[in-house]
C-alpha cells in the first residue's frame, strides 16, 4: 500500500481523485437510465417485466412479481436458525438505537391566545431498494427498514433483483424480521422508476431509500422531486486516524474491510508515525494475499488506497475533516479527546475494539452513511428521514389585533396588497 507524505499538493490531488467517484460524474449512463425510467413511466408493468427478463433473466407476470409467503418461509428455512437469531439480535440493537431519535409533536400556547407548534407525521408509503447483483446485503435491509418502522410508517415495500427467479434468502429473511409489508422481484433502474411512478403491480411510494449500483444511483437522482430519496450513495470509504499506539494488524484489517466492497472503494490511513505506516503497509499485503476478494481489494488499493504521513495529529485531524469520510476510525492513545475535533464524518468509531464492521452489522447506529465528502452536510439515515413536519399556527382575535398593522405594512412593502387585505378585512 503506497505511503505518501501529506502536503497541500498531495491532499488536493487525493481529494480530486476521491470526488471523481461520485455518481454525478457518470453522465455516460444517464441516457440509458432516463430511457428506462420513461419506458416504465409510460408502459408500467410491461416495461418492468421486459427489463427484468433482459437484465436478470427472470420471467415475471402480475401474479409472480410479488414474493409469496411460501417463498419467504422457504428463505427462513434456507438461511438457518443461527443466522436468524443473529439478525434478530442486530435488529433489536438497531431498533433500540433509533427509538432514541423519535421526535414528538409540540405546541406552545400563550395567554393571548397564540398557539404555535410542530406536528410530526410519518410518511404513508416508503420504498426500500436492496441490491442483489455482485453481493446481497441483508444488513442493509435491516438498516433501511427498521428506522421507517420506528418512525411509524405503516406500509414499507421492497424491491430487489431475483436472479433467475430467486431472491437472495438472506435478504428475504431480513425483510421478514424488519417488517417489510411486501416484496417485489425487481431490480435496477426499472425498480426505482416503478416505485417512483407506480405500475399496475407496484405502488407509487413517497420516498425511496437504499443503496445500489450506478444505474440505481442515477435513477434515484432522476426521480427526485417526484418522490423523496435518502441520498445518491457513492462507493464505500474508510479513513483511519492513528498514532504510534495503534495495532498495525488491526489497522490493516479495518482498511481492507472496505476495500473489498468494490474497485472504487477508498481506504485511507492518516498517521504521524512512519513506523506504523510501514508496518500497516506490510500487513495489508499479507492480508490481501489470503482474502477471498483479493482482486477487488488490490484494484481498490491501487486506485484509492493511501497511507498519508503527517507531521502531527492536529494536521491529520484537519485532513480527515477535509476528506469527510463515510466511516472514520480513531485509533489513538486517547480517541475520546480527538473525537470532538472531528467535524465531518458519517460514523465515528473510537478505540481498537470498535472496528467498522461492528457498525455495519450489529451495534445499532445506521450504516447508510454520507459518502464522497457529503458528510459535510448530510447525516446518516435516521428516523427523521421518514417523517414530515407541519407547522401549526393558531391566533386569537386579540393576538392578531396586536400585530395586524405590522403584517399589513410588511405585505405592502413587498407589493402584495392581497396579502395585506387578507389581514385588514378582519379589522374593518
Q: Which residues are catalytic?
A: 326-327
HSE-CB for 30 with a 13 A CA cutoff: 9
**What are residue 3's DSSP bridge partners?**
307
Three-class SS of residue 343? coil
Cα–Cα nearest to 53, from 221, 165, 217: 165
DSSP string, 155-174: EEEEE---BTTB--HHHHHH
Sign of the torsion angle spanned by Cα atoms 203, 205, 210, 211: positive
Widest pairwise Cα distance in the chain: 85
Name every residue whose Cβ is closer than 8 Å to that of residue 281 and which is 6 or more positions away in sequence: 1, 2, 3, 307
- CA atoms of 28 and 20, how far apart (whole Å): 14
State the cell numbers at 209. Answer: 431509500
The cell 425498480 sits on which residue?
191
Got the DSSP string for 28-76?
A: GGHHHHHHHHHHHHHHTHHHHHHHHHHHH-----TTTSBPPHHHHHHHH
Collapsing DSSP states into helix, strand and coil, what is residue 399? helix
Amino acid at each position: 500500500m503506497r505511503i505518501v507524505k501529506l502536503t497541500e499538493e498531495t491532499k488536493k490531488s487525493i481529494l480530486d481523485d476521491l470526488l471523481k467517484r461520485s455518481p454525478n460524474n457518470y453522465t455516460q449512463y444517464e441516457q440509458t437510465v432516463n430511457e428506462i425510467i420513461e419506458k416504465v413511466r409510460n408502459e408500467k408493468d410491461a416495461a418492468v417485466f421486459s427489463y427484468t427478463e433482459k437484465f436478470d433473466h427472470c420471467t415475471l407476470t402480475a401474479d409472480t412479481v410479488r414474493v409469496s409467503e411460501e417463498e419467504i418461509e422457504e428463505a427462513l428455512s434456507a438461511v438457518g436458525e443461527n443466522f436468524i437469531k443473529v439478525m434478530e439480535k442486530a435488529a433489536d440493537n438497531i431498533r433500540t438505537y433509533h427509538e432514541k431519535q423519535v421526535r414528538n409533536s409540540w405546541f406552545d400556547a400563550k395567554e393571548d391566545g397564540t398557539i404555535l407548534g410542530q406536528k410530526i407525521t410519518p410518511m404513508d408509503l416508503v420504498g426500500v431498494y436492496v441490491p442483489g447483483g455482485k453481493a446481497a446485503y441483508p444488513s442493509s435491509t435491516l438498516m433501511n427498514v427498521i428506522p421507517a418502522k420506528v418512525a411509524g410508517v405503516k406500509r414499507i415495500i421492497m424491491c430487489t433483483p431475483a436472479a433467475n427467479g430467486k431472491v437472495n434468502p438472506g435478504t428475504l429473511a431480513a425483510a421478514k424480521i424488519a417488517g417489510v409489508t411486501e416484496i417485489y422481484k425487481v431490480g435496477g433502474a426499472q425498480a426505482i422508476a416503478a416505485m417512483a411512478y407506480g405500475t399496475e403491480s407496484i405502488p407509487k411510494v413517497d420516498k425511496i431509500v437504499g443503496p445500489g449500483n450506478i444505474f440505481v444511483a442515477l435513477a434515484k437522482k432522476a426521480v427526485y422531486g417526484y418522490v423523496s430519496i435518502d441520498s445518491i450513495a457513492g462507493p464505500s470509504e474508510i479513513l483511519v486516524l492513528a498514532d504510534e499506539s495503534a495495532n498495525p494488524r488491526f489497522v490493516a484489517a479495518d482498511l481492507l474491510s472496505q476495500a473489498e466492497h468494490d474497485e472504487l472503494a477508498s481506504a485511507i490511513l492518516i498517521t504521524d508515525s512512519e513506523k506504523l505506516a510501514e508496518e500497516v503497509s506490510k500487513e495489508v499485503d499479507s492480508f490481501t494475499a489470503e482474502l477471498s476478494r483479493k482482486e477487488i481489494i488490490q484494484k481498490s488499493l491501487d486506485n484509492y488506497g493511501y497511507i498519508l504521513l503527517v507531521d502531527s495529529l492536529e494536521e491529520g485531524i484537519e485532513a480527515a475533516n477535509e476528506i469527510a469520510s463515510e466511516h472514520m476510525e480513531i485509533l489513538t492513545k486517547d480517541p475520546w479527546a480527538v473525537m470532538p475535533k472531528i467535524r465531518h464524518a458519517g460514523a465515528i468509531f473510537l478505540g481498537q475494539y470498535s472496528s467498522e464492521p461492528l457498525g455495519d452489522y450489529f451495534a445499532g447506529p445506521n450504516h447508510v452513511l454520507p459518502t464522497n465528502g457529503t458528510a459535510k452536510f448530510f447525516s446518516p439515515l435516521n428516523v427523521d428521514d421518514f417523517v414530515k413536519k407541519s407547522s401549526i399556527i393558531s391566533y386569537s382575535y386579540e393576538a392578531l389585533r396586536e400585530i395586524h398593522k405590522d403584517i399589513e405594512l410588511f405585505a405592502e412593502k413587498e407589493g402584495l396588497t392581497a396579502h395585506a387585505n387578507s389581514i385588514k378585512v378582519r379589522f374593518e
